[in-house]
Amino acid sequence: MLLARFGRRIAPETRIDNLLTIIAEEVRHILNADRCSVFLLDSARKELWTKVALGVGEKVLRIPIGQGIAGFVCKTGSAVNIRDAYRDTRFTQDFDKITGYQTKTVLAVPLKDRDGKPLGVFEVLNKGKGAFNEEDEGFLRILATIAASAIENARLYENLRKSHLETIYRMAMVAEYRDQHDTASHLHRISKYTGLVAAEIGLPLDLIEDLRYASPLHDIGKVAIPDSILLKPGKLTPDEYEEMKKHPVYGARMLENAESRLLKLARNIASAHHEHWDGTGYPDGLEGEDIPLEARIVSVVDVFDALTTRRVYKGAWSVDDTFSYMLEQSGRLFDPSIIEAFVRCRPRIEELMADEGHMTGAGEFGGTA
Ligand code: C2E
Ligand code: SIN
Ligand code: SIN
Ligand code: FE
């Protein structure tokens, strides 16, 4: 049954782009139409634009609300079935001129949200044989209903994920607020460097994104370290350093039993970012690949950033000196394969460091990649 297949294909899709493409493919197939477009409403610009336009190439078509057939359908909220487009006064030939196409039959139905407000228009052109009939129209309406609710769900999901990521990022801000002069840019760099290295070693995109948001939480355990130690301008006494070395344990406790993959990664990073490849690190003296990969990455990134920036207890090192040190410590403090990847990222890392001056606030983290 076609509808069941359609439902199965769209159910797991949470990304709007993929979702709409699948919907359009199915609709074109089911209705035997030559072209299929999903227009979405851009309320701010008062126009419809083709999020998906199968059979049209890469062009994005834009049409003001109220113009053309799609505009008419969106504005009135009623479906339109046309046998001969060029004899219909609502039809605009503009698109055919752009795409070098001859539209003949058109079936278009509105996409509406739960409250009946317009989301866009679903349009199919040039049925294989004859005109679109009532059965086609009924079918397109059902598919439009499913599509509209899927679009709404995808939007809800994206909003939820966005606020989840933003909250996590703000948590990191809280944790770092006391001991960094430039908390926002420090977290920003950690996140960016981590993303670069993760991409360089070939991790999948969704994991890279989670790592970009998990890495700024690496020092969250420092919230439990007293000011007298955390903010001490000079060298720590051995006792003070012992206390400081508990911050990964505190961090791991704060993130213990996390359920989301992102926070599980954050927990491993917080817990193991001061472990050393040769087993001389803390808190557990883990060695080699017993240290989670995510922590091995952040360990490199964290030390690089600590050395190249000023701290209350030290000045900033030059990039050259820092890279020499990192290479020297490859196989001791650091996983050699991560250091290799890090060195390959050097041009992009230096670009990021140079860009730093133009960065503003946590807004950077609203988007992806
Ligand atoms: P942090 O400032 O973020 O530094 C992270 C890591 O970067 C350090 O981990 C260390 O591996 C490396 N690093 C930082 N500065 C230097 C340096 O001058 N030379 C070398 N070779 N490596 C450096 P570590 O040592 O486990 O320290 C963890 C945290 O403890 C530091 O985070 C910082 O918050 C604090 N800390 C460490 N030493 C001192 C200190 O002498 N005074 C104060 N006030 N805090 C310190
Ligand atoms: C229209 O909606 O008037 C244009 C139809 C098309 O060519 O996509
Ligand atoms: C910055 O570098 O100032 C901030 C960027 C960010 O936190 O997203
Ligand atoms: Fe740390």
Count of the separate structural domains present in the chain = 2
Q: Does the pLDDT of residue 11 top 70, yes or no?
A: no
126 lines ligand 2 (CB under 6 A): no
DSSP class of 334: B
Helix (H) or strand (E) holding 237: none
Two tokens at 84?
Answer: 């001969």
Same domain, 146 and 29: yes
- Mean pLDDT, the chain, integer: 89
Distance CA 86, CA 62 (A): 19
359 lines ligand 3 (CB under 6 A): yes
Q: How far, in Å, from the CA of 313 to the mean position of ligand 1?
A: 8
Q: Does the pLDDT of residue 13 top 70, yes or no?
A: no
Q: Does the pLDDT of residue 162 top 50, yes or no?
A: yes
Q: Pick the atom of ligand 2 nearest to 121's CA.
A: 2
Residue 270 lies in a domain: yes
Same domain, 185 and 146: no
CATH of the domain at 43: 3.30.450.40
pLDDT value at position 359?
A: 44
pLDDT value at position 239?
A: 97
Residue 53 — very low, low, confident or very high, per pLDDT cuts 50/70/90? confident
Q: Which ligand neighbours the alpha carbon of 82 most closely?
A: 2
Same domain, 126 and 237: no
Q: Which ligand neighbours the alpha carbon of 270 most closely?
A: 4
185 lines ligand 3 (CB under 6 A): yes
Domain-terminating residue out of 100, 121, 156 = 156
How many CB atoms neighbour CB 194 within 10 A?
25
Same domain, 34 and 91: yes
Kindly report the pTM of this predicted structure.
Answer: 0.73
Q: Which ligand neighbours the alpha carbon of 275 most closely?
A: 1
286 lies in which domain range? 178-355
Residue 365 lies in a domain: no
192 lines ligand 3 (CB under 6 A): no
Residue 352 — very low, low, confident or very high, per pLDDT cuts 50/70/90? very high
Find out whether 267 and 294 touch, Cβ atoms under 8 Å: no
Kindly report, residue by residue over 66-84, the tens digit of the pLDDT: 899 999 999 999 999 999 9
Residue 365 — very low, low, confident or very high, per pLDDT cuts 50/70/90? very low
Secondary structure of residue 150 in the 3-state scheme = helix
Same domain, 130 and 229: no
Same domain, 228 and 346: yes
CATH of the domain at 313: 1.10.3210.10
Whose alpha carbon is nearest atom 2 of ligand 3? 185
Q: Please list all protein residues whose beta carbon sits less than 5 angstroms from ligand 4, which is an ion.
A: 219
DSSP symbols for 260-320: SHHHHHHHHHHHHTT--TTS--SSS---GGGS-HHHHHHHHHHHHHHHHS-BTTB-PPPHH
Same domain, 349 and 262: yes
Q: Does the pLDDT of residue 161 top 80, yes or no?
A: yes
Same domain, 8 and 120: yes
Q: Does the pLDDT of residue 282 top 70, yes or no?
A: yes
Same domain, 182 and 146: no
Residues in contact with ligand 1 (CB, 6 Å cut-off): 232, 235-236, 244, 274, 302-303, 306-307, 311-314
Cα 123 to chain center, whole Å?
Answer: 29
Q: Does the pLDDT of residue 369 top 50, yes or no?
A: no
Residue 362 lies in a domain: no
